[in-house]
A and B are shown apart, each in its own frame.
Chain A
Amino acid sequence: MAALETREALKTLRDSLKSDENKKKHLISLCAGSGCGAYGTSNVHQTLVEELEKQGMSDQVEIKLSGCHGFCEKGPIMVIHPEGIFYPQIKAEHIPEIVEKSIKGGETVQARLFKDPGTKKQIAHEEDIPFYKLQQRIIFGKNGLIDPTNIEDYIKYDGYLALEKILFEMKPEGVIDEVKKANLRGRGGGGFPTGIKWATCRKHHGNRYVICNADEGDPGAYMDRSLLEGNPHSVIEGMLIGAYAVGSSEGYVYVRHEYPLAVKNLGIALDAAREKGLLGKNILGSGFDFDIHVSRGGGAFVCGESTALMASLEGKPGRPKAKYVHTVEKGFRQGPSTLNNVETWANVPVIINNGAAWYASIGTEHSKGTKIFSLVGKVVNTGLVEVPMGTSLRTIIFDIGGGIPKKKKFKAVQCGGPSGGCIPERFLDLGVDFDELNKVGSMMGSGGMIVMDEDTCMVDVARYFMDFLKDESCGQCNPCREGIKQMLEILTNICDGKGKEGDIELLEELGAMIQKFSLCGLGTSAPNPVLTTILYFRDEYEQHIKDKKCKAGVCKPLFHYEIDDNACTGCGVCARKCPQEAIAGEKKKPHVLSQEKCIKCGICYDACKFNALVIR
């Protein structure tokens, strides 16, 4: 495949790809993201290929292993084009019927369609499903249409059009102005204005670097993963544009080690871009040189911090530095460095293609554009959700997310990962953007949204985050290293029933100290989950300490299970499932739970359909 040496060559290729659009009768898009992979896509794919061959239809149907579709709860996902028929939770055994009815016969297989849990109605088309309907997927939308390992798919859907525009119609300063006008702010959590970052980097002399932070470390957040796996060229194009703007010829993508598919697909995309001459020397004959290297992380959350990331890129331990001199001035290899998050880079081509004014028309006054959230935890429709900035938590969790499963009550939503805070029900109407959630002690962060219900113990959540941060602290500074450890000890004691009067106040005092005096962002934000849970769920802490009770039924020393005589129907399901044989009773008569044998594993509680197992 020859390299594209001019703009015209790229245009010609794109036009020819677009005209080939309707070559095959059907296109089946199978989600090959890691989430669906974990649910079994490769099995489905194998069966589909075999079935189509058996039916002699292989030349009429194109199968595309696409990037993540976002509706991860319902994976593996299959969408049949051009009709747009959406089939969730597909198994290998469903394939013959789908091929027979939908591909051959042009009908839908009713039993396989998505069923709205509220209306109980079946919905055939992707765009009508509430989960998708309420989103605005300007960044994520192409994932379902393109094969991330095929650069021509990306080019076909206006890929590298923005690159053409900036190389031949705009000056670097003009690109920076456009990004400033759009008011793009960093999507990794910091929210720093990207245009200003680029302008400052450009001002400083030396070898400049553009770097992509793909070290998505917030547990529960996987937007960047899905973007890199599903549409790596969008990030590459963004970096090309950024490099042109700041005056850099060398780029790096720092990816978490835990994302092998992202590393693989990114590598394939980079090779393809080089082959086409879109990376390397004299790109499209413009005189601009740029190439990208991939570097893998080593399992350290702190390497998401900019100075730690750059230390890691240099082959050293990822220990942060105090930011007396910013990395845009002296960063990687002491050169001016522009570090941006994956999603930020993916926004750049969209801004150039559609214009700053269009982009700035989406969102709120100070937060423009959309944000991709990972909506996970105790929510019906777990997945990746892209909405305009300012969309309320209630819309995201209930209208798009479908609310809490098993008819349980919403308790809190944790936003912003280990740096963020827990938000209780009364703030559900807040719009999510860079500023609103900060008013109640939390933050939007990188976009992780973990929904919690009545079975979640907020003290345990605080303890969980402290445990995480204790492991991830680099250990350099006292407030973080010693302070987090002490907070964890106090919280563990509280969860073990050893809490004392004064513990809450001590946590607050320690928290304030760590926030004020830590060296880096990991430390300064570490107390946030504890402080917000104390602020909004103080009564739970007090119950743990004074009453020695955990009402959510999580902290084992602080609760036990009992069978409610009035609710128990004697069906015997719990008794059969109990691994300790701790439940006994006659058929259709209330059963009895032996406290001596019970290990509080919770299997009976989860299994009972009559709410007869109660937490005391």
Chain B
Amino acid sequence: MGNEITLDWDKINDIIEKYHRDKESLLMIMQDISDIYNYVPKETIPVLSEKLNVSVTLIYSVASFYKTISLEPRGKFIVSVCTGTACHVRGADKIMDTLEGYLNIREGQTTLDKMFTLEGVRCIGCCASGPVITVNQDTHGGLDRTSTLKVVQEYQQRIT
């Protein structure tokens, strides 16, 4: 089950040029690559090393330090449950439990069909609307178990 995606090197090179090959923008470049593939494919690392003139070690160091960068493939939909204090006090763990049960994976894992990755994130900043989850760029607030399931089912329908 290796990486079967074909990388669009034009797009990737465009991203690097957009940031003028600036080594200080390494994190943002990796995030932009991640926006396309939902993770940073390892094949891009030697290219980044050469074009930005930084060591491969530094790239791995940055990739493993920052939570928003994943070197492993993630699902089509990244479901992030806010586990910030305000959401925690309002029952975020019940939302996480519900999702773990429904998707049959634990926090940090991806479903076998590669559709959903379940993650916890420490505060999205919508504290008054808690509990909150984000699915890729969409935010859903004021959730309970029932509405959480409805949200996920809507995304499942989009796939079929």
Mark A residues whose CB is within 8 Å of B.
34-35, 37-39, 72-73, 75, 216-222, 225, 256-260, 295-301, 312-319, 374, 376-378, 382-383, 414, 417, 448, 450, 452, 456, 464-465, 468, 471-472, 474, 601-603
| Residue of A with least CB distance to B145 | A603
Q: Please indicate which of the listed interface residues A35, A221, A471, A474 has the most CB atoms of chain B within 10 Å of its own CB.
A: A35
A316's partner among B62, B68, B137 (CB-CB below 8 A) is: B62
Check B68–A220 contact: CB distance below 8 A: no
Q: Which residues of B contact A450 (CB under 8 A)?
A: 85-86, 89
Contact of B85 among A34, A312, A414, A603 (CB under 8 A): A414
Docked Cα-Cα span, A260 to B58, in Å, equals 26
Known: A38-B141, A225-B125, A603-B145. A298 touches B68 (CB 8 A): yes
A374 CB contacts on chain B under 8 angstroms: 86, 127-128
Question: B106 within 8 Å of A by Cβ?
Answer: no
B76 within 8 Å of A (CB atoms): no
Q: How far is the CA of A471 from the CA of B31 in the complex (A)?
A: 21
Contacts of B145 in A (CB 8 A): 603
Task: Report chain B residues within 8 Å CB of A382.
Answer: 86, 127-128
Contact residues in B for A602 (Cβ distance below 8 Å): 91, 94
A222 to chain B, nearest CB (A): 4
| Residue B121 interfacial (CB < 8 Å) | yes
Q: In angstroms, how far is the closest chain A Cβ from the Cβ of B26?
A: 4
Contacts known (A39-B142, A219-B122); A75 close to B24, Cβ less than 8 A? no
Give the CA-CA distance A260 to B121 in the complex, in Å: 14
Residues from chain A with Cβ under 8 Å of B90 in the complex: 377-378
Let me know if A376 and B24 touch, CB within 8 A. no
Partner of A448, one of B25, B26, B83, B85: B85
Other than the known A296-B31, A299-B67, what 15 A-B pairs have Cβ atoms closer than 8 Å?
Answer: A39-B129, A222-B127, A259-B125, A297-B66, A298-B67, A315-B22, A316-B61, A374-B128, A376-B127, A376-B130, A382-B86, A383-B128, A448-B85, A472-B122, A603-B145
Set B23, B61, B126: member contacting A34, Cβ < 8 A: B126
Quick check: B68 and A257 within 8 Å, CB to CB? yes
> Are A258 and B123 in touch, CB under 8 angstroms?
yes
Q: How many whole Å from B127's CB to the nearest CB in chain A?
A: 4
Contact of B28 among A216, A296, A317, A456 (CB under 8 A): A296
Q: In the complex, what distance in Å separates the CA atom of A584 from the CA atom of B132?
A: 33
Seen from chain B, the residues whose Cβ lies within 8 Å of a Cβ on chain A are: 22-28, 31, 54, 58, 61-62, 65-69, 83-91, 94, 97, 121-130, 132, 137, 139-142, 145
In the complex the two chains form, is B141's CB within 8 Å of A299's CB?
A: no
With a cutoff of 8 Å between Cβ atoms, the chain B residues found around residue A298 in the complex are 27, 31, 62, 65-69
* CA–CA, A521 and B88, complex, Å: 24
Q: Contact at A315–B127, with CB atoms within 8 Å?
A: no
Residues of A within 8 A of B121 (CB): 258, 299
Q: Which of A220, A257, A468, A474 contacts B86 (CB 8 A)?
A: A220
Q: How far is the CA of A374 from the CA of B130 in the complex (A)?
A: 13
| CB atoms of B125 and A258 under 8 A apart | yes
Known contacts A299-B67, A315-B26; is-contact A35 B86 (Cβ 8 Å): no
A453 nearest CB neighbor, chain B only: B89
List of B residues within 8 angstroms of A220 by Cβ: 84-86, 123, 127
Q: Please indicate the chain B residues that have their CB under 8 angstroms from the CB of A256 in the complex.
A: 125
CA of A220 to CA of B86, assembled, Å: 5
> Who on chain B is nearest to A460 by CB?
B88
Are the C-beta atoms of A300 and B122 separated by less than 8 Å?
Answer: no
Contact of B129 among A38, A219, A296, A417 (CB under 8 A): A38
Q: Identify the closest chain B residue to A252 (Cβ).
A: B24
A219-B85, A376-B86 given as contacts; is B129 within 8 A of A315 (CB)?
A: no
What separation, in Å, do the CA atoms of A301 and B31 have in the docked complex? 17
- Asked if A299 contacts B66 (CB within 8 A), the reply is yes
A296: which B residues are within 8 A, CB to CB? 27-28, 31
Say whether B31 contacts A315, CB under 8 Å.
no
Tell me which residues across on chain A come within 8 A of B27, comparing CB atoms. 296-298, 312, 315
Inter-chain CA distance A471–B85, complex, in Å, is 15
